Homo-oligomer: A and B are copies of this chain.
Amino acid sequence: MADVARLAGVSHQTVSRVLNDHPNVRQETRERVLAAIEGLGYRRNSSARALVTRQTNTLGVVAFDTTLYGPASTLYGLERAAREAGYFVSIVSLRELTRDDLAEALDHLARQQVDGLVVIVPQSAIAVALAEMPQPVPVVTVEGDAGVGLPVVNVDQRKGGALVTEHLLRLGHRTVWHVSGPPDWLESQARTQGWRETLLAAGAPIPEPLSGDWSPRSGYRCGQLLAGVPDLTAVFVANDQMALGVVRALDEARIRVPDDVSVVGFDDVPESEFFTPPMTTVAQDFSEVGRKAIELLLDALADDRDHSAPAAEGADGAYPAVPPARIVVQPHLVVRRSSGPPRRS
């Protein structure tokens, strides 16, 4: 910066001014400085800047199992939105969904002095744990709505479960069986709730749901159980991977999809259109979720800056009690060949 100042024939804080788009710089001076910057290939030292501004311009993301399509897509949306807003993104993937791992991740990111955090917290216990941890910086949660008072963006999973169930009922099925995800996952709970409520509203019998761990293998095991159910005509499986396993197990039991049994998944992974048969499923706009989360976080950061200015605060310095922001993204049903009317028996 000193070099730039010298070459442009100004002081170094004038250089700083043009770098920060300060208004009080004469046009001609600005141009001279810009030329010097260009000529020297100068690049501002971000550490020095962070030291004085107390902002690192980096956002932390903590996620779980980013090899799955959903988290990976959300992460992609987050990264893209953050970068477009001029932020760096630092990521940590949890090995396990435990309180300790989460605490460690937050600690790691705090060490880096991120300006804000987005945490993907799929389990209720984890959402609660997160809410109880000290939060030195603004936090936005994704899929973490356990009513714990943190800002959240999520997909309306309950609606998704309802869409599937309505679809199957409308096709003429008397009821719909269900393979849920792990019971302690929020997404899993909401999808199951949507399914149950819809059956209830329709006066349809409500079978005992089976549950898997999202993996195709667990779906396969549930499928083997389902193959023994008399009168089975329709199954709602809580994700596409498990649905694939269910179809496989039914196939091995000589039960045809959709001729004998309709199977519907959830997520609309890119493969699902090419499963045998192509899978009816629910699409979620993960990128949108990522974008919205960053939007919310940037809003929170801006609020934070406003409030830290010693302006119109309450006497006790407390923030006005605004309810935490909530953004809900709507899913939609994608009908393919794995679902159809029940076979007349």
Residues of A within 8 A of B (CB): 43-48, 50-51, 56-58, 66-67, 69, 72-73, 75-76, 79-80, 83, 88-93, 95, 108, 110-113, 215-217, 219-220, 241, 244-245, 247-248, 251, 270-271, 273-276, 278
Contact = CB atoms under 8 A, between A and B. Distances in A.
Contacts of A244: 271, 274-275
A285 to B, nearest CB: 13
Contacts of A88: 90, 108, 112
Contacts of A113: 45-47
Copies per complex? Answer: 2
B274 A251 contact: no
A140 B233 CA distance: 54
A175 to B, nearest CB: 26
A267 to B, nearest CB: 12
A112 B50 CA distance: 11
B56 A66 contact: no
B67 A72 contact: yes
B66 A91 contact: no
Contacts of A75: 66
A48 B90 CA distance: 19
Contacts of A93: 76, 79-80
Contacts of A108: 83, 88
Contact of A112 (B48, B51, B58, B251): B58
A91 B92 CA distance: 11
Contact of A50 (B47, B72, B80, B270): B47
